[in-house]
Amino acid sequence: MKITLDQDKCVASGQCVVAAADVFDQRDEDGIAVLLTAEPPADQATDTRHAASVCPALAIHIQE
The enclosing domain of 23 has a CATH number of 3.30.70.20
| Domain carrying residue 15 | 2-63
What's residue 61's pLDDT?
98
58: left (phi over 0), alpha (psi -120 to 50) or beta: left
For residue 37, the cross-strand partners are: none
pLDDT mean over 33-58: 98
Q: What pTM, to 2 d.p., does this model score?
A: 0.94
pLDDT mean over 4-22: 98
CA distance 10 to 1: 21
Write out pLDDT tens, residues 18-39.
999 999 999 999 999 999 999 9
Number of domains in the chain: 1
pLDDT mean over 3-25: 98
pLDDT mean over 41-61: 98
Q: Closest by alpha carbon to 35, among 52, 23, 27? A: 23
